[in-house]
Structure 1
Amino acid sequence: MTFIGERLPRKEDPRLLRGLGRFGDDQDRPGQLWMRVVRSPVAHGRIVSISAPPGVITAADLPSDLRIPVRLKVQDIDLDEFLQPVLASQTVRYVGEPVAVVLADDPYEAEDIAEQVEIEFDELPVAVETGDGQLAAEFELGYGDVEQAFQNADHVVEIEFDVGRHSAVPLEPRALLADVDPATGALQIFGMTKVPVFNRDVLSRMLGIDENLIHVHAMDAGGGFGVRGEFYPEDFLVPWLARKLCKPVKWVEDRAEHLVAVNHSRQQRHVAAAAFDKTGTLLALRDEVLHDNGAYARTHGIIVPELTVAMFPGPYRVPVFNGRIRVMLTNKTPCGTYRAPGRFEGTAVREQLLDVAADRLGIDRVELRRKNLLAAGELPHTREMSTLGTDVVLDSGDYIGLLDKAMVEADRLGYFAEVEKLRAGRQAGLGVAMFLEKSGLGPQETADVMISPSGDVRVHSGGTSLGQGIETALAQVTADALGVDPAVITVINGDTNLQPFGGGSWASRSTVVGGSAVHRAALAVRQRAVEIASRMLEVAEEDLEVRNGAIGVKGAPGSSVTFADVAKACRPGSPHLLPDEPAGLTERRRFEVEHMTYPYGVHIVLVDVDAATGQVKVLRYLVAYEVGRAINPTMVEGQLLGGVAQGVGGALLEEFRYDDAGQPQAVTFMDYLMPTAAELPPIDILVAQDAPAPGNPLGVKGAGEGGLTAAGAAIAGAIRDALGLTGSVGCLPMTAERVRGLIKEGK
């Protein structure tokens, strides 16, 4: 009996399709108060005075010097002076920064009260351009003598490329409810999805209470994509107010708040160069990056810029590399991760650089890539640098083989024939981009698997459900290890009482690390069940076999016990338990990770450019992706489809712009343009399982980000091809306005 690799329906869907999901805004308590945040209307200024109705909370009412810590510290760079306060006390640094909070019996009254709060500011100079900001961090990653490599090169190609500021806009904005036990001060928290154990620990330190007094409940989430579930000011304010007032407190973010309050991402300026010998062999890469981090260093610290340079060489054979990052603070919304953080940006720049180089060297762009890709025999391949605290060791793969498969598939599907046909009367182009991803970040994940006397199986995982189908994937892993039907398995993710050691769902780690922990725990339960069954049946363990939820004697079909029977035999006082042997058929196991695993893929896209309007129409899209082993191929394909949709938005439409005063120009969907079904093309998916990951027992590689990683790169390449440019397109997103500018320059 095997369930890994099967296209099973998602276990989550029956309740979600019937409206029975448990989302943040679904939670209410009698007598709850509603919180509303008063946000700064200016980008930079000193707070002179706050005039407000009674009961309004400001920084003066909070414990002193509360700042939100960095969750992931890298490069030994101290960011403490740049951390965001819970409420601004003296100075505001971006439009949307929390200054005060109000409470009321309903959300409408809270909003009315918030509008009565008047804040007088002494406005200060505003830094909107990245280069005018404050330097918060500067570092380099790389290996080899870059200067010498470029001096010895026969050809050097350099481009400048900007990636615009955009972010995730999940269907569900943030929501949080904190209920309190007046007798003990214990908190029940609903809505803190993504990294609940980390958030619980941060909250316990900021409140000065024991972590066991905080229970973060597992919740559904209408999308996460990196921005939801980090620790924000509201995540302290809601539970702090609940304890202070001994009443439940609820807060629900509206869309206007979301667009100025949650982490933005992406905004970078690159100057990238490649050195080649006379045959087109890559000798070295260099990338200088100016990263706009907004007003503060939030929980992600500087991991996005670090990932940008650490992953910049991609799947290519790069003998020498240097990446230099300057992280700047500006008077804009602070930044963090967004699906494929750093890789979307770096891949777009590197692949555009290779397209320009191919033209200048007179080499076909696909052939230039094939020539410089690491061969299967060169893997594993170690690069003398680290990211996210782990050494960069590219584990398993066949990059050239996947590129060839993708080209064959695109030809079979008619991509090349169609672009040639379109070129007869229109400006059509084809983009091809290779990418390298990372997944399975540690350091650990913990899981519990238990079998009840009814025969039902429960899994307590440290992952969280963000819409990615983790319940289904972990159920399939458990079913495979135990040899039971997935229908009898219940998976509970992200409950800090049930699983107090969970790492959460982020960095494409849920199946790689969380699934491996579940796999270990399930095998341990299976082994214990065999041990108990051997006592029950009075036979040696080696004479038993597990089949269809039962343990029986080999060759004796009538002599067996079910898992339910074994679970009953594990009750306290059972004659089948040894002295001091713990009761219950349950096991907890931890899976630790030293190195990440590195999935990879190819994007091929066909676009049509309207020369009169500059509008880019994406006509067809192909993603080929190596996933190592697909627990559920349908869910992998769904992840890739969703990623492409977000990638099209980031490549063509979505951008947060600011005026000279630091005022955001995209605060509604009238200005922040999201892709709809009308903007999305038919998407073809090729999922490869040719290179199982050697670093985990399931052989899996993360699938959450591969649909997005190379979308900007492929679309930029297709536009460049359609317009016949000799240089780079220069930036993303390629809005109609910018495309018209390129056409005008070309003419």
Structure 2
Amino acid sequence: MGEFAIGQSVSRFEDPRLLRGGGRYVGDIVLPGMVFGYVLRSPHAHARIRSIDASKAKTSPGVLAVLTGADWQASGWGDLPVPGGLKRRDGSAFRPPYPALVKDRVRFTGDYVAFVVAESLIQAQDAAELITVDYEPLPTVVSTAEATAAGAPRVWDQSPDNIGFVQLFGDKAATEAAFANAAHIVKHRFVINRVTAASMEPRGSIGDYNAAEDRYTIYTTLQRAHPFRTELAPILKVPESKIRVIAGDIGGSFGMKSAVYNEVALVLLASKRVGRPVKWTSTRSESFLCDAQARDNVTQAELALDRNGIFLGLRVHTIAGIGAYLQTGMPAFTGNIGTLAGVYRTPAIHADVTAVFTHTNPVRPYRGNGRPEAAYVIERLVDLAADELGVDPAELRRRNYIPPEAMPFKTGLTFTYDSGEFEKSMDMALALADFAGFERRRAEARKRGKLRGIGLSNTIERAAAQGFEGAEIRFDKSGAVTLLAGSVTQGQGHETIFKQIACDRLGLDPNEVYYIQGDTDQVFVGEGTGGSRSTTIGGSAVDAAAERITTKAKAIAAHLLDLDAADINFADGVFS
């Protein structure tokens, strides 16, 4: 539709409001009678709690409630959700409890010991300093590589080797045979550091319990409103209909805000206890202490080649640090393990992933969700192989690329590629980078006392994860249009994207389309944002909704014009 058609470059609808400070983040929300919560966190990575004395805190000015692990246990509420179906090497499963407040033992620095509610945040912080906790410090293991060593401190007594679960991929026997017949084997140990997100807006939540309706409302920072409600319901032990989840503007996430965190449950329990809305907002320091982190892999990888540099097999063993607790979505490092196959014809691949507990933050998906780690492993091995064989790195890749005529191609791991011209893609990159002229540029740089390097790498990204998404387009009697999307934005520009699709399909003026997201009482169905899926899956849902409207409207127009629906034309918002 004119300048707002699909494919046109348009100005984002969100930006003027946000740039003028008109956003409505959790920090901007003030509810009548709202009070404030503060979490007392463990200063130890591992310690036994001998006792907690909160008597002085409870009588501190402005304090309305002090909750401890004993209070959480007495509430009868459920623990935070943990993933199922994960097995250790012997087939047994271990799913440690994940309470919102710990009672007897802390397992990482920042673990949740008490929650103080007061009329002001300062009063809550002051009262927290009056809580006396008698800790018995215990030995710790924070190194992923050392977690399974003999004599390493146990994170959980029920897991003496600190192994949470094991996942195996590929054909081990074929891979072992490939290595037995290899002329060359290159090996490398990869240490991929633990990382944390640093979103512009820290996490925050406001819990508001309505006693008259026995219903909970949570205002929070998230990525997926409807799955969030589904995970929250068994914690509160109520049906989903008793929970309303509201996400306004959200300042970044990168995977970190996809979890139901302890503070979400705490502000809701506290609101029910004190009869008023309770707000908690993370400080930047708290973000580093308690936000879910990511990666933290130690990988031993080997690539087998024949005499001509053709890849025969790839063998990978990864020890993945998962922190002190299991979290939903946490096995992210295996979700994209197929990326290890890269763009190469390696016939035999086997990967062994051992997830280990450490006295650190739990982990969750984070930017790339396992893809960067896997791509790094295979591409670095290819460079090492080229160096050992004395072959140009581009030439070695060229020998092993999957050719276009082999499509569809089943890789040695989990992926099947339906298309790809990988050699052509590399040649285009080499030309654009003037790869052939690099040595001349390096020599010139050396004369000026400068060092110059160049690298070559391939990756293939699985994005737009399958599943469903919700979208709804409503016309009221006045003709006003409302677009409702199940996906939730954290700055990606969903409003502009989805309006552009709807307006192009229906011939609407984007300035006259009202947009709603992130409210489970208004948007009935949704899956949410993650894995680069919103435009593809969410946009397709908007497109499908527009198509249904057009079909229905043609039938109505045919009735009014006394014609067959097949004879009705629709263009630029007009039926004729």
TM-score by length of 2: 0.90
Contact 2:343 2:401 survives alignment (8 Å): yes
Matched residue, 1:262: 291
In the alignment, structure 1 residue 61 sits paired with structure 2 residue 84 = no
The one-letter amino acid of 1:70's match is V
Q: How many Å separate the matches in 2 of 1:450 and 1:369? A: 52
> After superposition, where does 1:551-700 map in structure 2 within 5 Å?
551-552=575-576
Matched residue, 1:206: 235
> After superposition, where does 1:262-661 map in structure 2 within 5 Å?
262-302=291-331, 304-307=332-335, 309-383=337-411, 386=414, 392-411=415-434, 418-424=441-447, 425-552=449-576
Q: How many Å separate the matches in 1 of 2:33 and 2:20? A: 28
The one-letter amino acid of 1:373's match is Y
Which is worse superposed, 541-550 or 97-106? 541-550
> What is the Cα deviation at residue 464 of structure 1?
0.5
Q: How many Å separate the matches in 1 of 2:86 and 2:469? A: 20
The one-letter amino acid of 2:218's match is I
CA distance 1:308–1:523, shift in 2 (3 Å): closer
Matched residue, 1:230: 259
Per-residue CA shift, 1:237-283, capped at 9, x if unaligned?
11121123221010000011000101111111111111112221111
Q: How many Å separate the matches in 1 of 2:407 and 2:11? A: 35
The one-letter amino acid of 1:275's match is A
Matched residue, 2:153: none
> What is the Cα deviation at residue 500 of structure 1?
3.0
> What is the Cα deviation at residue 384 of structure 1?
6.5
Q: How many Å separate the matches in 2 of 1:471 and 1:318? A: 43
Q: How many Å separate the matches in 1 of 2:44 and 2:329? A: 25
CA distance 1:546–1:190, shift in 2 (3 Å): same
Matched residue, 1:193: 222
> What is the Cα deviation at residue 236 of structure 1?
0.8
> What is the Cα deviation at residue 542 of structure 1?
1.9
Contact 2:187 2:300 survives alignment (8 Å): yes
> What is the Cα deviation at residue 371 of structure 1?
2.5
Contact 2:349 2:412 survives alignment (8 Å): no
Q: How many Å separate the matches in 2 of 1:419 and 1:212? A: 65
Contact 1:177 1:251 survives alignment (8 Å): yes
Q: Which runs of 5+ in 1 are unaligned?
A: 387-391, 553-747
> What is the Cα deviation at residue 15 of structure 1?
1.1
Q: How many Å separate the matches in 2 of 1:496 and 1:90? A: 36
CA distance 1:399–1:487, shift in 2 (3 Å): farther
The one-letter amino acid of 2:35's match is L
Q: How many Å separate the matches in 1 of 2:216 and 2:436? A: 56
> What is the Cα deviation at residue 524 of structure 1?
0.7
TM-score by length of 1: 0.70
Aligned to 2:434, the other structure's residue is in SS state: helix
Contact 2:145 2:298 survives alignment (8 Å): no
Q: How many Å separate the matches in 2 of 1:486 and 1:177? A: 32
**When the two structures are aligned, how many residues end up with a matched partner?**
546
> What is the Cα deviation at residue 385 of structure 1?
5.1
Contact 1:310 1:323 survives alignment (8 Å): no
Matched residue, 2:159: none
> What is the Cα deviation at residue 413 of structure 1?
13
> What is the Cα deviation at residue 135 of structure 1?
0.7
Matched residue, 1:745: none
> After superposition, where does 1:92-111 map in structure 2 within 5 Å?
92-111=106-125
> What is the Cα deviation at residue 400 of structure 1?
2.3
The one-letter amino acid of 2:68's match is T
Contact 1:294 1:334 survives alignment (8 Å): yes
Which one of 173, 176, 180 corresponds to residue 205 of structure 2?
Answer: 176
Contact 2:322 2:330 survives alignment (8 Å): no
The one-letter amino acid of 1:464's match is V
CA distance 1:74–1:517, shift in 2 (3 Å): farther
Matched residue, 1:150: 179
CA distance 1:427–1:384, shift in 2 (3 Å): closer
Q: How many Å separate the matches in 2 of 1:260 and 1:158? A: 35
> What is the Cα deviation at residue 12 of structure 1?
1.1
Q: How many Å separate the matches in 1 of 2:78 and 2:575? A: 56
Q: How many Å separate the matches in 1 of 2:346 and 2:512? A: 50
Q: How many Å separate the matches in 1 of 2:96 and 2:555? A: 56
Which is worse superposed, 107-116 or 488-497? 488-497
Per-residue CA shift, 1:688-739, capped at 9, x if unaligned?
xxxxxxxxxxxxxxxxxxxxxxxxxxxxxxxxxxxxxxxxxxxxxxxxxxxx
Q: Which runs of 5+ in 2 are unaligned?
A: 59-64, 148-161
Per-residue CA shift, 1:17-43, capped at 9, x if unaligned?
111111111111121110000101101
Matched residue, 1:729: none
Identity of aligned residues (%): 33
> What is the Cα deviation at residue 518 of structure 1?
1.5
> What is the Cα deviation at residue 97 of structure 1?
0.5
Which one of 45, 51, 55 corresponds to residue 49 of structure 1?
Answer: 51
Aligned to 2:12, the other structure's residue is in SS state: coil
> What is the Cα deviation at residue 358 of structure 1?
0.9
Q: How many Å separate the matches in 1 of 2:531 and 2:87? A: 18
The one-letter amino acid of 2:229's match is R
The one-letter amino acid of 2:431's match is V
> What is the Cα deviation at residue 420 of structure 1?
4.7
The one-letter amino acid of 2:142's match is V
Which one of 23, 26, 29 corresponds to residue 27 of structure 1?
Answer: 29
Contact 2:471 2:483 survives alignment (8 Å): yes
> What is the Cα deviation at residue 287 of structure 1?
0.8
The one-letter amino acid of 1:145's match is A
Contact 2:333 2:370 survives alignment (8 Å): yes
Which is worse superposed, 282-291 or 185-194? 185-194
